[in-house]
Homo-oligomer: A and B are copies of this chain.
Amino acid sequence: MAQRQLAFPQPDCADCPIRHRAVCARCETDELEQLESIKYYRNFEAGQTIVWAGDRMDFVASVVHGVASLTQTMEDGRRQMVGLLLPSDFLGRPTRESAPYDVTATTDLQLCCFRRGPFKDMLKTNPHISQRLLEMTLDELDAAREWMLLLGRKTAREKIASFLTIIARRDAMVSQTQATGEVSFDLPLTREAMADYLGLTLETVSRQMSSLKKDGVIKLEGKRHIHVPDFEVLLDETGDDDDGGVLE
């Protein structure tokens, strides 16, 4: 793969795009300065592996731009994605020496890294960081449990529809809108990575995408750009409660 120059600038915390959602969201100016002294940026190209399961990992990080995934692999090659990290998500465990999963950049990616030791020390003394990290970890646990329902009980079609709504919603969140009515977005994953996410084969992913297209639930523009004429129709295909469990 040719070495491209990645275009991500290295922002100051003050104008960082994830300033108000990342692990540092609740930090005051002086706390940011402290963080700034142990932080550094790393860029990765789509497809690059960031760490292999079992490798030493002496940093933790926030995703600034792009998408990273956590994947488990069995001895015979079966793979299951167990984490999908979008901008502002946190990577790594302050008290752990080595990575338990493969971490891969699924798109071009920028991480804001903190050296693990100093970060761990800050956690002890800085409640703004430790409380925020707890909150984010609990959110991730909730997401993992939704994901378990998907893996254990949903049909292939429901899995695909659910995945599309997840991406659409996270996309909407970034642009400060609500996913309703007409929606379009880019898929950050190949069909194979979608299969790893959903516990399917890539052929089944492809077939179900075609089926949703045939039924007019989605339109494909290229392989990666999705247009949804009516988001509510897509929601009906997920098998979830109509409202996404928010009200009622």
Contacts and interface: CB of A to CB of B under 8 A. Distances in A.
Interface of A: 70, 72, 74-76, 78-80, 82-83, 93, 95, 100-101, 123-124, 127, 130-131, 133-135, 137-138, 140-142, 144-149, 151-153, 198-199, 239-241, 245
Contact of A141 (B79, B95, B140, B198): B140
A25 to B, nearest CB: 15
A135 B199 CA distance: 28
Given A148-B148, A199-B153, A134 B130 contact: yes
Contact of A82 (B75, B82, B149): B149
Nearest to A141: B141
Contact of A124 (B124, B131, B133, B151): B131
A74 B149 contact: yes
A78 B100 CA distance: 31
Given A74-B149, A82-B149, 20 more contacts: A72-B146, A72-B149, A74-B239, A78-B153, A80-B148, A83-B145, A93-B138, A101-B145, A123-B131, A124-B127, A124-B131, A127-B130, A134-B134, A134-B137, A137-B137, A137-B138, A137-B141, A141-B141, A144-B144, A153-B199
Residue with the greatest number of chain B CB neighbours at <10 A, chosen from A133, A138, A140: A138
A146 B153 CA distance: 17
A95 B142 CA distance: 13
A240 B74 contact: yes
A131 B138 CA distance: 13
Contacts of A80: 148-149, 152-153
A55 to B, nearest CB: 14
Residue with the greatest number of chain B CB neighbours at <10 A, chosen from A82, A100, A123: A82
Contacts of A198: 152
Contacts of A123: 131
B130 A131 contact: yes
A95 B135 contact: yes
Nearest to A72: B149
B148 A144 contact: yes
